[in-house]
């Protein structure tokens, strides 16, 4: 194996190992305090608010105002097909 190919292979392997180590440490960070001790993880973020539309014009409107309704969810294409 030529030296340039070996160097390229070793560099690529080093990048893969470094990337894997960085992703592992990033996953554990939210469940540790400043001293590095494990703590209870915070609850996941709330789902975004549902979109609403005006019942007469069917245009998007702010949820909670008079004459609005939630936008119906799209039907799953696989469930609709026989």
Domain containing 63: what range? Answer: 49-73
Q: Which pLDDT value is given to residue 33? A: 87
Asked whether residue 54 is assigned to any structural domain, the reply reads: yes
Q: What is the pLDDT of residues 4-61, one digit of tens each?
A: 677 776 667 655 555 555 555 555 567 888 898 999 888 888 777 678 999 999 999 9
Write down the pTM of the prediction. Answer: 0.33
Q: Which pLDDT value is given to residue 55? A: 92
Asked whether residue 57 is assigned to any structural domain, the reply reads: yes
Asked whether residue 34 is assigned to any structural domain, the reply reads: no
Please state the domain count of the chain. 1
CB atoms within 10 A of CB 71: 14
Please say whether the beta carbons of 55 and 69 come within 8 A: yes
Asked whether residue 68 is assigned to any structural domain, the reply reads: yes
Asked whether residue 69 is assigned to any structural domain, the reply reads: yes
């Amino acid at each position: 194996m030529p030296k340039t190919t070996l160097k390229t292979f070793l560099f690529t392997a080093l990048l893969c190992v470094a990337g894997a180590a960085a992703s592992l440490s990033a996953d554990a960070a939210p469940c540790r305090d400043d001293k590095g001790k494990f703590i209870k993880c915070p609850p996941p973020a709330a789902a975004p608010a549902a979109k609403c539309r005006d019942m007469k014009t069917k245009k998007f409107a702010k949820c909670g105002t008079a004459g609005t309704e939630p936008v119906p969810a799209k039907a799953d294409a696989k469930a609709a097909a026989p």
